[in-house]
Amino acid sequence: MTPFRVAYLDMNSFFASVEQELDPALRGKPVAITAVDSNSGACVAASYEAKAFGVRTGTRVADARRLCPGIIFLPSRHRLYVRFNLAVADVLDRYAELTHIRSVDEFQLALSGDAQTLEGACALVAQLKAAVAKEVGPRLRFSAGLGPNHLLAKIAGKLDKPDGLQWLSPDNMPERIAHLSLDDLPGISRAMKERLFRAGVYDVVSLCQLDPRHARQIWRSVEGERFVRMLQGMDIPIIATQRGGYGNSKVLSPEFRAPRRAYQVGRWLVEKATARLRRDGRVAARFSLTVSFFEGQTWARGVSCFPTQDTAFFLRLHRALWRALWRNGPPGPVISLGVNLTEVDLLDRRQGDLLAPLAPAERTRGERVSVAVDQINARFGDGMIRYGIHAAHPGFFERG
């Protein structure tokens, strides 16, 4: 049998399970988590007692109340769930090699030694389940997937919920997942599914049997070849991005060193960086600003956000950080400044936002506007449309 190299753990109804762990009165009852304490909006999570009535992530509150009379709604407490996430991670890391915390409720482990066999891997998962139940709470359960690579392990982890354990490898592929739809697979967005349909790939079995070189053409990227090779069982590590970020920095010429003029240069740098981000089909989840002064001091701050490629949104973050810089009074002359977009990933991999609502890999309204601006500027000349007032600063002063 092909050795197992990865275990992927997916916490079951994590948000609701945390609430049930903390409040015994909620145990055994249908619970739904909402973004705010409100009678409107949608559920962002549901307990398995609620799921038995058809309540799912994304179900509107009014529909959930109709489907499940007596359902209990609770407002989301993200910081609390993060604390439990870290508690679970601490347990896993003491029993196995925790390589990635993939999200607030998903963990990836590297397998070695006896754990690369099916029997050994199953024994390890049983040990982890017992440890999490004992040290974090018995309501905190997870489904586990085993595979020769990250992708197959993640797919396997979704096959038997809750509290299950499944494995995928060339020994049982593609028959074991033949019942899945293309967009059941992680990374297959609605747009990618349509692209596969146009290429004559209509089901998971056909995708698994696809020539990886053909997949590269369909994806228009090497990521397609990597994806299919992993479905076929190859041990190819997933690379979230091919670069760490997008940014620009400037040593300012004398006429731009006044803080207000430096701020306008910063706006120009943001426009340049975000245009490159969109050109490569990527989004960024963190924005940083660095400002250096003649006195030798440097001020640097960053802020995390929903992964986006919207120029107007990053300009608002840029303005907010400059406001923070000015909070204690006007700064002195600026010698250099830089902006950076980091925590970068492909737009095609971005998860949806139930509260927006936004489908996976779908562009927001602001992003669509940004793309239209790029197209107009490409046709009629750079800077034909700008996002308000900025100060272009080309020349040898550029460091980024």
Phi, psi of 152 (to 5 degrees): -65, -35
Q: Which residue in 19, 21, 49, 106 is the catalytic one?
A: 106
> How high is the pLDDT of residue 243?
58
The residue written with tokens 């024994």 in the block is: 123
> How high is the pLDDT of residue 397?
36
The pTM assigned to this predicted structure is: 0.61
Q: Is 295 exposed, middle or buried (0-12, 13-18, 19+ CB in 10 A)?
A: exposed
Tell me the β-bridge partners of 336: 251, 292
Q: Is 357 exposed, middle or buried (0-12, 13-18, 19+ CB in 10 A)?
A: exposed
Q: Is 393 exposed, middle or buried (0-12, 13-18, 19+ CB in 10 A)?
A: buried
- Is 106 a residue of the active site? yes
**Measured between alpha carbons, how far is 124 from 137 in angstroms, rounded to an integer?**
18
Whole-number CA gyration radius for the chain: 24
Amino acid at 247: G
Q: For 1-172, CATH number? A: 3.30.70.270
The DSSP code sequence of 372-397 is HHHHHHHHH-TTSS-SS------STT
> How high is the pLDDT of residue 238?
55
**Measured between alpha carbons, how far is 276 from 262 in angstroms, rounded to an integer?**
21
User: Is 359:290 a contact under the CB 8 Å cutoff?
Assistant: no
- The closest alpha carbon to 143, from 288, 298, 9, 242, belongs to 9
Q: For 245-380, CATH number? A: 3.30.1490.100
Tokens found for residue 256: 């731009």
> How high is the pLDDT of residue 68?
94
**Measured between alpha carbons, how far is 219 from 245 in angstroms, rounded to an integer?**
22
Tell me the β-bridge partners of 304: 286
Amino acid at 389: I
Q: Please, where are the H alpha helices in the chain?
A: 14-22, 48-51, 61-67, 78-95, 118-135, 150-157, 190-198, 204-208, 212-219, 222-231, 259-279, 311-325, 365-380
For the chain, report the end-to-end CA distance as a whole number of angstroms.
50
- Enter the DSSP assignment of 252: P
**Measured between alpha carbons, how far is 263 from 246 in angstroms, rounded to an integer?**
19
* 366 Cβ contact list (under 8 Å, min separation 6): 308, 310, 311, 312, 313
The residue written with tokens 């001020």 in the block is: 299
> How high is the pLDDT of residue 13?
93
Beta strands in 211-363 (DSSP E): 245-251, 282-293, 298-308, 334-346
Angle among Cα 311, 82, 246 to the nearest 5 degrees reads 25
List the domain boundaries for the chain.
Answer: 1-172, 176-231, 245-380
Q: Please, where are the H alpha helices in 280-326?
A: 311-325
**Measured between alpha carbons, how far is 270 from 218 in angstroms, rounded to an integer?**
32
CA dihedral 357, 359, 364, 368 (to 10 degrees): -140
**Measured between alpha carbons, how far is 118 from 106 in angstroms, rounded to an integer?**
21
What is the three-class DSSP state of 339? strand
- The closest alpha carbon to 371, from 300, 286, 278, 302, belongs to 278
Q: What pLDDT tens digit does each residue of the chain (400 aa) get?
A: 889 999 999 999 999 999 999 999 999 999 999 865 556 567 889 999 999 999 988 888 889 999 999 999 998 887 799 899 999 999 999 999 898 888 889 999 999 999 999 999 999 999 999 999 999 999 999 999 999 999 999 999 999 988 999 999 999 999 999 999 999 999 888 888 999 999 999 999 999 999 999 999 999 888 899 999 999 999 886 554 455 688 888 878 778 889 999 999 999 999 999 999 999 899 999 999 999 887 778 899 999 999 999 999 999 999 999 999 988 888 889 988 999 999 999 999 898 777 677 888 899 999 999 999 999 988 887 778 889 888 887 643 333 3
